[in-house]
Structure 1
Amino acid sequence: MSVQIPLKTKDFYKSIFNKYDRNRDGFISINELNDIIESREYEEDIPPYCVKKILELHDLDGDRKLNFEEFYEMINNPDLQYVFGHYLNRYISWIIPRKQHPTTRTVTDGLYEEEYSCYPPAVGMVILSLVQIILFCIDEATEYNSTKSASGPCATIFIYEPRRRREIWRYVTYMFVHIGAFHLVVNLLVQILLGIPLEMVHQWWRVLIVYLAGVLAGSLGTSVVDPTVKLAGASGGVYSLVTAHVASIIMNWKEMSYPIAQMLVFIIVAGTDIGTAVYNRYVLDIDEHIGYAAHIAGALAGLLVGINVLRNLSVTRTERVIWWCSIVTFSLLMGACLVWNLAGKSYFPEEIWN
């Protein structure tokens, strides 16, 4: 077993211990530990759950206080290095900027940022991405370049095919099929980088509901707007994650640091891509074989479902109204698409029965 050699002497750490032992009782309580972690001497602000976890790991006698020996062990424990400098915390700090709080701060100021937690772990997007990679590899291994033509065994079963609309699983399973490696990699990167921060606050199952709503809305929306278009890829779900961030900002506006800046970032990203897609498709008449309607429908679903499903840390009367408006709007739009698919058979291509 390797042992880490302390970089400083015990006397050095004793002086730090005494500095933060505010009441001079020979112990550092959780509140005093929190003061250490959030001190301006540290480069990063550490969420409260990390403080609690550190205390649990090193409070050997269970009195919810650290004596000097426990404090010294905590400082020199290599297993806790990830807490103070892990790349995930750096990424979260980058994508969700934090305020440098003044001496006096409100109860809700920056509350949202304090909700980031790895417990339970954010595994939803990771597992989903692994499934997509496995199915892609199966298709590619079966026949060379089959993924570029969606002719592999998985693609054949899962792709959304308007002439096989009776096979209702295709309205969702097309998210597992990707046309080429570049298509797969782009979707994986976006859903990981945007999905995990959402899962760390709202838990993986809420984010998965939003994602699946975007996928389903993407296929139903495409069936109504572009009835002859086939669909492959997770873009409907990916776009739902983009606008889910917008939904989270709307419903947690007062609890967030810099909500306007965060809102602008996601609106610009989504608006630029969707605007370019619509312009290419309907103005320049460029046929790129891309289901633009799925992007737009997925983004709309992410916004409406995100408002309903994602956590709202402090509910106001206005937010209740927004909640009801979003659920009614989503239900009406999805209901209309379902009725259209069931009743408008002459609108769609003739179905294949073999």
Structure 2
Amino acid sequence: MPSVQRETTVSIPLTPTRSDLYWRRIFNKYDKDNDGRISYVELKHIIESREYDHDLPDNVVERIMSVADRDNSGYLEFSEFVEMMHNPALKAVFGHFVARYVHSIVPHRDPVDTTGRWSGFRPVSASDGDGTYEEEYSCWPPAVSMIIISLVEIVLFCYDAAQGKTAATGPIAKLFLYNPRKRHEAWRFLTYMLVHVNVVHLLVNLLVQLFLGVPLEMVHRWWRVVLVYLAGVAAGSLATSLADPKVFLAGASGGVYALITAHIATIIMNWSEMEFAIIQLLVFVLLAAVDVGTAVYDRYWKHTQQNIGYVAHLGGAVAGLLVGIGVLRNLEKRKWEKRLWWAAVVLYFSLMIAGILANIFWESHFL
């Protein structure tokens, strides 16, 4: 028997619904030449209007038009426009750019309230459309990298403690801590993060790196967080070797500070997608500034005898910011963010290469 093709029919209401009137109002607002169609230029104007302060990813307008323009006419008719705004598949193409914009500048009309009557205009909350970053939190794959690193630090500390050595004088500590007299043992620039001078030192670093590292890992995945952490550790020891060439280092503070400023990096790169971004930014900046400021004050003004490697903190913080911008996920890439990405990557590698070369060739500095 011959095959029969079944056509899909779409029912069109004879009278416009209140929802149609709502979308018609938006459609007419941007149909600048009143020809009943939205052109590519008009669609671009919707998204790049001065009223909408986001810089869009490259080619996003072309991608929207290619998906929404069903008949390839180069225009969006009203039916295509409405379908575009309601089509869940388009969210992956242009996220909340168009929807957030029109919902923020045009008051919503609720079709009916609980009494069945027309409810009129409803003001839109300022937070509508925010929280895209928070939606990215996921427990799969499980966030275990910082937990594993923490367990290794605990095991190594317990091993030295079992030998009666808890002040970074045990066999593990002697092998792993950063010793400026043994800079040729290159592993020490990283492995110092695994040894600690006492229980309080260990617990503080464990608590901070778990509370800061696990949330980052749930969004950005383990390998990105590990890269940031190790970059902070390496930058901390390199910076210390140049600024305080006679200082020994033990502890994960360089990595911990990298995690702190990695949060700052992800807030900067995902500002529009995060809830309460300004509050989060101020909290992390204040946390880092108070700790480093206290250490510097104690050393240079109060002349307190303390062994806090504040240069390692600063080096880790700078590395966490730069590497965080370079490797952590950016949910919506904008032109200025691409320029910032290149600047961060070039600056980080320039500083690291300079630090490595100085340690190799500037021998008189370490005498």
Question: What pairs with 1:124-135 in structure 2 (closer than 5 Å)?
Answer: 124-135=145-156
Asked if the contact 2:326/2:344 (under 8 Å) is kept, the reply is: yes
Give the match's secondary structure for 1:147: coil
Deviations 1:330-351 (A, max 9, x none): 11111111111011111114xx
Alignment match of 1:193 (pick from 211, 224, 227):
211
Q: 1:110 offset after TM fit, Å?
A: 1.1
Asked if the contact 1:108/1:254 (under 8 Å) is kept, the reply is: no
- Residue 162 of structure 2 aligns with which residue? 141
Q: Partner letter of residue 273 of structure 2? A: E
Question: Does residue 152 of the first structure (1) align with residue 170 of the second (2)?
Answer: yes
Q: 1:220 offset after TM fit, Å?
A: 0.2
Deviations 1:70-98 (A, max 9, x none): xxxxxxxxxxxxxxxxxxxxxxxxxxxxx
Asked if the contact 2:228/2:324 (under 8 Å) is kept, the reply is: yes
- Residue 212 of structure 1 aligns with which residue? 230
Alignment match of 2:263 (pick from 231, 236, 245):
245
Deviations 1:145-202 (A, max 9, x none): x122x11111010010000001000000000010010100000000001110000000
Asked if the contact 1:174/1:232 (under 8 Å) is kept, the reply is: yes
Distance 1:103 1:284 in 2: 53
Q: 1:324 offset after TM fit, Å?
A: 0.9
Question: Does residue 315 of the first structure (1) align with residue 333 of the second (2)?
Answer: yes
Moved more, 225-234 or 278-287: 278-287
Question: What pairs with 1:87-166 in structure 2 (closer than 5 Å)?
Answer: 109-142=130-163, 144=164, 146-148=165-167, 150-166=168-184
Asked if the contact 1:213/1:237 (under 8 Å) is kept, the reply is: yes
Give the match's secondary structure for 1:311: coil
Distance 1:106 1:159 in 2: 48
Q: Partner letter of residue 134 of structure 1? A: V
Q: TM-score, normalization: structure 2?
A: 0.65
Higher CA-based Rg? 2
Q: 1:276 offset after TM fit, Å?
A: 1.1
Asked if the contact 2:238/2:356 (under 8 Å) is kept, the reply is: yes
Q: 1:279 offset after TM fit, Å?
A: 1.5
Asked if the contact 2:127/2:275 (under 8 Å) is kept, the reply is: no
Q: Partner letter of residue 170 of structure 1? A: R
Distance 1:275 1:109 in 2: 34
Asked if the contact 1:162/1:229 (under 8 Å) is kept, the reply is: yes
Identity %: 58
Distance 2:155 2:142 in 1: 22
* Structure 1 unaligned spans of 5+: 1-101, 350-354
Question: Does residue 345 of the first structure (1) align with residue 350 of the second (2)?
Answer: no
Alignment match of 2:322 (pick from 304, 311, 315):
304
Asked if the contact 2:202/2:251 (under 8 Å) is kept, the reply is: yes
Alignment match of 1:255 (pick from 255, 261, 273):
273
Shift in alpha-carbon separation, 1:106–1:267, aligned structure 2, 3 A: closer
Q: 1:104 offset after TM fit, Å?
A: 7.3
Deviations 1:275-305 (A, max 9, x none): 1111122222223012110001001100000
Q: Partner letter of residue 131 of structure 1? A: V
Give the match's secondary structure for 1:254: helix
Asked if the contact 2:236/2:312 (under 8 Å) is kept, the reply is: yes
Give the match's secondary structure for 2:272: coil
Distance 1:340 1:279 in 2: 28
Shift in alpha-carbon separation, 1:277–1:104, aligned structure 2, 3 A: closer
Deviations 1:22-47 (A, max 9, x none): xxxxxxxxxxxxxxxxxxxxxxxxxx
Question: Does residue 276 of the first structure (1) align with residue 297 of the second (2)?
Answer: no
Give the match's secondary structure for 2:271: coil
Distance 1:280 1:187 in 2: 20
Distance 2:154 2:302 in 1: 34
Q: Partner letter of residue 141 of structure 1? A: A
- Post-superposition, which runs of at least 4 consecutive aligned residues in structure 1 deviate over 4 A? 102-108
Q: Partner letter of residue 333 of structure 2? A: V
Question: What pairs with 1:286-301 in structure 2 (closer than 5 Å)?
Answer: 286-301=304-319
Distance 1:340 1:286 in 2: 30
* Structure 2 unaligned spans of 5+: 1-122
